[in-house]
Structure 1
Amino acid sequence: MELESVPGVGAKTATALRELDDPERALRDGDVATLSQAPGVSEGRAARIARGAIRADHDDPGGFAATPRAREIFREALGLLQERTVTDYAAKRLETLYPSGVRSRIEEVREFTERAIARDPDPAVREALSGVEPLADPGDVRVRDRCLATSDAERYAEAQEAIPEVSVEVVDDARQLAELARSYSTVVALDEAFAGVDVEGDVRVEPDALAEPASVVPERVLTFFARNRDRVRAAAEVHRVAGLAAPCDLETLADALDRLEADGSVRGDDELDRLATAVDDLDAAVSTAESVANDHLREAIEERDVTIEGTDLLSLVERGAGVDSLLGRELADEYAAAVEQARDHLVDALELRDTEAIARRAFPDEPTYPVERQEDVVSRLREELTAARDQRATRQKRALADDLADVRGDAEQLVANALELDVELAVARFAADFECTMPEVTDDGGFDIEGGRSPLLDVPFEAVEPVDYAVDGVTVLSGVNSGGKTSTLDLVALVTTLAHMGLPVPAESARVGRVAELHYHAKTQGTLDAGAFESTLREFGELVTDITADRPVMVLVDELESITEPGAAATIVAGILESLTDREATGVFVSHLAEDIVAASDADLTIDGIQAEGLVDGELRVNRSPVKGQLARSTPELIVEKLADDDGEDGFYAGLLGKFD
């Protein structure tokens, strides 16, 4: 798929999408989560790009919802679905669904919908989904304790691109390699020429390292899982609760994640913990060891009488001796014992093993008071412990990264499955909440809705009265004020839109003729001025002209007569209906001028009526299902009829009622 061929994808966006591993696959699958990982592409933008790719794949020209009201119906229908999602991803993913007049697209979504409505919208699954989010790919990993080394300029550039997390150094010989080994805890030499070179420090010759970045920078894998640990765990829980087939063994994955700290380090290794603690506590342990030695020496001095003969004192003074010499002569054994206590404390406090010999040199054998550390030895000890810690950590990281790298693809699939399940469950909940059924989508035109109930009304869905309505061709719908004419048009528009989205419809059954466009014109508030009136007529003129057998349309119009004077309106509506009838369009025009329109038309128009059954306690009682071929009685007629019943046959109201015949 050529990225620039996708509607809405220009050169800049195409460049961003190419940074993804497989943008064509993401576009083909409508994978909003992956598309939104491209630089500068938000989830909303990703959904629009995915829709464009889907249209391109099905050669879909778009434009099904051809008027503002038709687009409102689509957005409201989509909103009902999105309200039933748990994750933000699913809400955005649903935006890849849109009404289409292309059979292949409708069938594609119908297959998805059949799977979705078979799902059980279990509240426990919904709860588990609350912790699932698209995986984040951390781009801020930086490792400073190791480096790559090469003598080749071209390989240097390759290394920088392949493993940007570590420094890449140019070396010419073993001496320079040794210098690097003193600065880094680990050096990975990329050149085969360095094999067999004896260099002090952790220097590994790995010519294939660039092909296996995780061996050099296990932090790449570990940071990915550390950042996404809770999301992967939540996705695993979704699989358990929903009974989904997992792409990997969930217990093995859980065990690996349990070994990972939130910062990407490895937990559960006693030796690594010991070394890390030794590095952290070194200064404190050395200070305490000094105190142990000095406390012991001070007590020894305080408890002991030291006698020096005059000749001995003169001899010491003549030689320039000080307190150290006195200690060496009089308290040599006590000093040795004090230093040994300090050394033992340091070794025991830090639980030193391989570095014990260095630690014991931290306090001098030569007597001195107070006893003080030898900073160069302590620094050496710190370097050794730090190197041992880092090397141990790297080995542990590599081992864990190897395990996790093997399941990264599975973890990504695990999360993707959970997110897609949320999309399916939103459709399942929509179907269950509004008692939906899968409609029959035909190429015959018209529609037939049985037991349809609109969830767009401002009443609880369970209180909505069911409507039966079928139309083939063009009809005029009449009815009393507040009788449900507009809500019937809304129901027809909603069922038509959902059917062309490939989704279930809120009805006991429904047949919908496939159309290329839905034109729904809502009621205009007030009479239009001359310019707006002309614009409206032009719009209908273009609509009628564009209708062809290959591009059928459905036209729903609510009281078009409100745009001008009633007499002229009946003539204009009649002319529009004649043209729509000639082109075999499907249309429903709601009007209070039904009789006048039929009289003004040369076409064989039908009139359907939403019949008022009477007034009960001042309230209008209506049969919400339009009656075919019958003009609806008006509210004034019903009121006059009620008054005539009370007035008798020869009364004023009886005569007035006769005027309605």
Structure 2
Amino acid sequence: MDLESIPGVGEKTARALRALDEPERALRRGDVAAIATAPGISQGRAARIARGAIRLEHNDPGGFLATDRAREVYRDVLSLLKSRTVTDYAAQRLETIYPSPRRSRIEDVQAFARGALERESDEAVLTALEGVEPLEQPGDIRVRERCLATTDAERYSEARDVIPELSVEIVEDTQGLAELARGYSTVIALDESFAGVTIEGDVQVRPDALEAPAEVVPERPLAFFARNRDRLQAAIEVHRTAGLAADCDLEALEDGLSRLDEDGTVAGDDELDRLTTAVDDLDAAASTAESVANDHLREAIREEDVTIEGSDLLSLVERGAGVDSLLSRELADEYAAAVETAREHLTDALDLDQGEAEIARRAFSDEPTFPVERDEGVVSRLREELTAAKERRAGRLKRELAADLADQREGARKLVRAALELDVELAIARFGREFECTMPEFTAETGDEPIGFAIEGGRSPLLDEPLEAIDPVDYEVTGVALLSGVNSGGKTSTLDLVASVVVLAHMGLPVPAERVRLRRFDDVHYHAKTQGTLDAGAFESTVREFADLARGGEGSLVLVDELESITEPGASAKIIAGILEALSDNGATGVFVSHLAGEIREMADYDVTVDGIEAVGLVDGALEVNRSPVKDHLARSTPELIVEKLADEAREPATNGGDVPDREAGPDFYDRLLEKFD
């Protein structure tokens, strides 16, 4: 697939898409989550790019929704679907499902939708889905306690490219390597010439390090799992709750995630925790140990009676001796006890092992001094030893965990993708159940007789009413028909039903009806009711639009609501009659709602089909209507029904006991008016 041939994709965007692992696969599948991981591409833009790629794949020219009202219907039904999603991903993914005239595209989505309709939504699954989000790539990783070393300039450049997470240093010889070992917890020598050398510190000779970067920098794979830990755990819960088959070992993945902290460090290892705590608490523990020793020594001095002979005092003064000599001579045992107390406190507070304790003991000298002071050099050495031990331990644990998770990465991606796609499927399933939908039948593919559309038991999803309060509608049209009916009888709702059914069917999705058969249309032209008479310019534009349809409208569905309002009634009837003639000659399918159906039929030069939404009467001042249009029937208007009601009332017996009806006007007046409707 030529990425730059996708609508809306230029050179810069194509370059970003090529950074994906499998860009063509993601684009063909409409995988919004994968596309959105490309640099600089948001989830909303990813949906638009996916839609463009799908159109390119199916040679879809676009423009199926040819008018503003047709596009409004699409956005309305799409909104109903999106409102039933849990994740932002699913809502964006549904944006890639659009109405298309292409058989291949419709069948692709139909296959997906049929599988979706078999899904059973469960509150536990929907709750689990709340924590699922598309996986993210971790940011730049820098590891500062480890470095690579080489004597070769070319090797140096290669190492910087392959393992950018580590510093790369050039050394001339073993001495340079030893100097690096004093500044880093671990040094990885890339040259085989260093094999067998003995250097103090953690120096590893790994000539093959650049071939296995994840072993050298386990932080790289671990960062991915750490960044997405919560998302993966939520996806695991979705799979378990929904009973989905997984492409990875859920228990092994869950175990690996439980051993990983959000910052990418290994969790749950007691020895690593001990070393980490010791490094963090070293300064505080050393200060406390120092205070413990001095408190002990002060108390000993207060309680000790020290007697110094004059000759001894003179000798001490002549030698320039100070309190240290006095402590050594008179309080040696007490000083030794104070220092031992400090050493024990430092060892116990940091939970040091035997080797570490030996270093810690040297932090307090045996030579008497007051106040007792720690040796900062020894404390620093202890810190280096603890830090190095911690990093070695952490490095080993990271390598082990990274090895355990290494084979899980692709499975983890599929795990999250499946959970997100489940949300899309459940949204379609919930929509299908809540609106009692069925999959439509396209007549061109079944070999049935030519038909525009045939809807049985349809309920418009665009009505702001509970489903049970909506009367089911049956309506079938082949060719172009006029739809007549009383005001508020449901003519516009019928057009909305037809439009929504056709749009959903061409999206490849289930439709809100008991059964639907229809042809594949090239486009949908839905003209909403015009508010008031159009000015000359707008009128001209409207007539031009229908002229274009008349020339190339074969395969179009044309829905028009009271076009007569664009100009004077007499002229409107003539114009609509001419439009119907042209569309009928061209093989289009259309429904024109009009109160001038009788006049239009008389003016047309062919037998125009007139269907009617019939009001069966007035009940307590409200219309009682049969919502399904009656074929080949000109429906009576609301004024006619009212006059008929008045005539019937005028014929009723008088309420005053006489033979003359108690009415101001007799039935003859109303009958005369009724004759005008014939």
Q: What TM-score bracket applies, with the shorter chain setting the length?
A: over 0.9
Report the equivalent of 1:162.
162
Please state whether the residue corresponding to 1:96 is helix, strand or coil.
Answer: coil
Does the CA-based 8 Å contact 2:455-2:475 persist in structure 1? yes
Does the CA-based 8 Å contact 1:454-1:490 persist in structure 2? yes
How far does residue 248 in structure 1 lie from its aligned partner after superposition?
Answer: 2.1
2:289 is the alignment partner of 1:272: no
Q: Using the alignment, how far apart are the partners of 2:268 and 2:6 within structure 1? A: 50
Q: 621, 625, 628: which one pairs with 1:625?
A: 628
Q: Using the alignment, how far apart are the partners of 2:314 and 2:294 within structure 1? A: 28
TM-score (norm 1): 0.96
Report the equivalent of 1:588.
591
Cα deviation digits, residues 62-88 of structure 1 (max 9, x gap): 111111111111111100100000001
Change (3 A) 1:647 1:336: closer
Report the equivalent of 2:470.
464
2:488 is the alignment partner of 1:476: no
Report the equivalent of 1:513.
519
Report the equivalent of 2:253.
253
Amino acid at match of 1:213: P
Does the CA-based 8 Å contact 2:4-2:14 persist in structure 1? yes
Please state whether the residue corresponding to 1:608 is helix, strand or coil.
Answer: strand
Amino acid at match of 2:390: R
Does the CA-based 8 Å contact 1:610-1:626 persist in structure 2? yes
Q: Using the alignment, how far apart are the partners of 1:23 and 1:307 within structure 2? A: 91
Q: 647, 663, 669: which one pairs with 1:652?
A: 669
Q: Using the alignment, how far apart are the partners of 2:85 and 2:4 within structure 1? A: 32
Please state whether the residue corresponding to 2:268 is helix, strand or coil.
Answer: coil
Q: Using the alignment, how far apart are the partners of 2:170 and 2:23 within structure 1? A: 35
How far does residue 107 in structure 1 lie from its aligned partner after superposition?
Answer: 0.4
Amino acid at match of 2:168: V
Q: Using the alignment, how far apart are the partners of 1:7 and 1:152 within structure 2? A: 48
The alignment covers a number of residue pairs equal to 658
Does the CA-based 8 Å contact 1:85-1:91 persist in structure 2? yes
Q: Using the alignment, how far apart are the partners of 1:567 and 1:313 within structure 2? A: 135
Change (3 A) 1:321 1:562: same
How far does residue 221 in structure 1 lie from its aligned partner after superposition?
Answer: 2.5
Report the equivalent of 2:117.
117
Q: Using the alignment, how far apart are the partners of 1:406 and 1:91 within structure 2? A: 31
Amino acid at match of 2:473: V
Please state whether the residue corresponding to 1:515 is helix, strand or coil.
Answer: coil
Q: Using the alignment, how far apart are the partners of 2:433 and 2:69 within structure 1? A: 26
How far does residue 303 in structure 1 lie from its aligned partner after superposition?
Answer: 3.2
Q: 576, 584, 587: which one pairs with 1:573?
A: 576
Cα deviation digits, residues 603-645 of structure 1 (max 9, x gap): 2321111111111111111111011111011111111111111
Cα deviation digits, residues 536-569 of structure 1 (max 9, x gap): 1111111221235xxx111111111111111221
Alignment of 1:163-312 (within 5 A): 163-312=163-312
Does the CA-based 8 Å contact 1:581-1:603 persist in structure 2? no
How far does residue 500 in structure 1 lie from its aligned partner after superposition?
Answer: 0.5
Report the equivalent of 1:9.
9
TM-score (norm 2): 0.94
2:506 is the alignment partner of 1:503: no
Please state whether the residue corresponding to 1:587 is helix, strand or coil.
Answer: strand
Alignment of 1:587-626 (within 5 A): 587-626=590-629
Report the equivalent of 2:662.
none
Does the CA-based 8 Å contact 1:612-1:622 persist in structure 2? yes
How far does residue 15 in structure 1 lie from its aligned partner after superposition?
Answer: 1.4
Please state whether the residue corresponding to 1:146 is helix, strand or coil.
Answer: strand
Report the equivalent of 1:493.
499
Does the CA-based 8 Å contact 2:552-2:586 persist in structure 1? no
Report the equivalent of 1:391.
392
Does the CA-based 8 Å contact 1:571-1:600 persist in structure 2? yes
How far does residue 226 in structure 1 lie from its aligned partner after superposition?
Answer: 2.2
Percent of residue pairs identical: 72
Q: Using the alignment, how far apart are the partners of 2:473 and 2:208 within structure 1? A: 71
Q: Using the alignment, how far apart are the partners of 1:110 and 1:270 within structure 2? A: 54
Q: Runs of 5+ in structure 2 lacking a partner?
A: 445-449, 652-665
How far does residue 445 in structure 1 lie from its aligned partner after superposition?
Answer: 4.0
Q: Using the alignment, how far apart are the partners of 1:620 and 1:279 within structure 2? A: 85
Please state whether the residue corresponding to 1:418 is helix, strand or coil.
Answer: helix
Cα deviation digits, residues 93-151 of structure 1 (max 9, x gap): 00000000000000000000000000001122111111111112111432211122233
Report the equivalent of 2:49.
49
Please state whether the residue corresponding to 1:429 is helix, strand or coil.
Answer: helix
Amino acid at match of 1:311: S
Amino acid at match of 2:574: T
Report the equivalent of 1:75.
75
